[in-house]
A and B are shown apart, each in its own frame.
Chain A
């Protein structure tokens, strides 16, 4: 007798639409990590809103996730998410963005949202390249990489997005690769429950566009094994020299600050004070 087994996360999908990502893309792992985190936290999906931008990362929630989804312009997701969170502070707002969204066109929104410590969970998919538009160099592309806009090798140093978020004042910051799906899910759980600005960088494989750059074209398995080999936990990294850490991915929870005023709470306080006058 054939028995149909429903995927435990199917209930979170709008249905009637397929994912548009290329085969081997890291988006699937990240989508599952987000949904498993929500499932384990047992939060009503309707109490979560997603905001995403333009780029492959935007397709993680949009239009597939069966809750409120706002898919906006390139780089501006965090700014839109800020307005949404201010308007409906009781709703948890999760932002799915790319390294172009946060490190390039929308860098200003990232650092200011971190500084304001608004209660958002930002999941930044860092594939080290502009994937959807055809493999152009991103601000996260390693030095001397050959991409469609750097045929002689890139001449700029890449951004360390998590460190940027920490420096800008983000109160919860974690970095994982798609190889560490379970720790990633656990950090997403913490980020969702953290009151304040959370930034999770997920180093994710783009076998189609970035695979080419590192000689692993259409080979997601090798890319994941590469992540496994090159990942160093933050605890171990402290004992290592800068040279030893070259080309490594420092993974783990990089920052967690508590008792820093959160923006929507601050606004509630101002409303109370304004009425007293």
Chain B
């Protein structure tokens, strides 16, 4: 089900975090719960006023655990809900992120990443939490995560995040970082007919005690609370009708596999990548988020020097674009992985390349700082 939403055309010079909040509102977000944390607080500030202006709800919760709890239940109340935090907040949310996954609850969770572990460095950008949303909560599960590299993408990808959350009944993460969140840049707002919003599949009428409201690889309809649909929702292992069964391994097997397949079988629709200059490339640079900016700059410099270099950028970090990288690995000799951490996505790229191409990791000279294009260029020259 799709519908269009009105918005005035405008261009603004705004911070990444504000662009994210604006994107959420364009996407129909009408419930925001948050707890103060650097470097994500600007999103919460903005929403604390804006939500009431659009007839929505803002609540500053007692902690991040309550923030995720609030957005999950508000989603069951039929709202489009969102929270924004940084790594320490996500760490607190992880148990209830698992609940959101297993109850197939659409919601958007923004992580403006900062230096970790622990309190870390609140205003230093680090891509240190790339694995956290996918592996942080216990058990086996799939989520969707997107990595923006600019305020424009904070806006655009937040709309994508809401659409994917609604369509696939899954929590969707925005994995930004302190610099993307805090930088100010021009943001072009789309024309109203350019905005297409996906809405969740909703259960219309009560279908009986065994109504199928979960575990459909084509997305089961969601019984919104307060409409007499007798929703039976639990975080325990359950069947399609919501009834729990915690003793039969076959029920658990069915639940885990369907929840995962719901995402994995739709990778073609979910996975977004951006490829530049890869047609004749011998070397591909894999990068995402903030780092992509330096990489793209470097690729342009290299091309001017006649070097056959291209850029492969996953916009969707999870589900991981394994097939696309495998394809890439058959075309290039070397893949250089650049990320602002000690190589979190590197093993996944290497596994996807499956020996077809050499995969090397190039971290920034100092974690938390921008890559020097010269350094990337030198590595390109070494491998080409």
- Chain A: residues with CB nearer than 8 A to chain B? 14-17, 46-47, 49, 51, 62-63, 66-73, 76, 79-84, 86-88, 90-91, 108-109, 112, 267, 270-271, 273-275, 277
Contact = CB atoms under 8 A, between A and B. Distances in A.
A87 B73 contact: yes
A86 B69 CA distance: 12
A71 B233 contact: yes
A86 B57 contact: yes
B61 interface: yes
A83 B77 contact: yes
Nearest to B79: A87
A84 B76 contact: yes
Chain B: interface secondary structure? mixed
Contacts of A17: 243
The bracket for how many chain B residues form the interface is 35 or more
Contacts of B72: 72, 80, 83
A260 B72 CA distance: 28
List the 6 closest pairs (A to B, CB-CB), nearest first: A87-B77, A83-B70, A83-B73, A79-B69, A274-B52, A46-B228
B373 to A, nearest CB: 46
A72 B230 contact: no
B375 to A, nearest CB: 45
Given A80-B69, A109-B65, 4 more contacts: A62-B234, A68-B233, A79-B69, A84-B74
Contacts of B226: 47, 49, 68, 88, 90-91
Nearest to B206: A46
Nearest to A269: B52
A270 B52 contact: yes
A274 to B, nearest CB: 4
Contacts of A76: 65-66, 69, 96
B228 A112 contact: no
A16 B79 CA distance: 31
Contact of A15 (B55, B95, B209): B209
B225 A46 contact: no
Contact of A68 (B63, B81, B231): B231
Contacts of A81: 73
B260 interface: no
Contact of B229 (A68, A86, A271, A275): A68
A104 to B, nearest CB: 14
B62 A109 contact: yes
A273 B52 CA distance: 9
Contact of B61 (A47, A79, A90, A273): A79
A80 B70 contact: yes
Contacts of B78: 87-88
Nearest to A91: B226
Nearest to A87: B77
B53 A68 contact: no
Interface string B63-97: 10110011111111111010000000000000110
A73 B96 contact: yes
A49 B225 contact: yes
A87 B95 CA distance: 22
A80 B233 CA distance: 12
Nearest to B50: A274
A70 B79 CA distance: 16
B33 interface: yes
A67 B230 contact: yes
A46 B65 CA distance: 28
Contact of B209 (A16, A68, A70): A16
B138 to A, nearest CB: 11
Contact of A275 (B53, B95, B99, B223): B53
B235 interface: yes
7 contacts: A17-B243, A71-B236, A72-B96, A73-B99, A79-B65, A80-B69, A112-B62
Contacts of B63: 108
B219 to A, nearest CB: 20
Contact of B95 (A63, A73, A86): A73
Contacts of A82: 59, 61, 66, 69-70, 73
A270 to B, nearest CB: 5
Contacts of A277: 53
Given A63-B242, A66-B230, A88 B77 contact: yes
A71 B225 contact: no
B175 to A, nearest CB: 24
A222 B191 CA distance: 73
Contacts of B209: 14-16
Counting chain A CB atoms within 10 Å of each CB, the highest count among B78, B230, B231, B232 belongs to B232
A90 B227 CA distance: 11
Contact of B99 (A47, A72, A84): A72
B244 interface: yes
B49 interface: yes
A88 B229 CA distance: 14
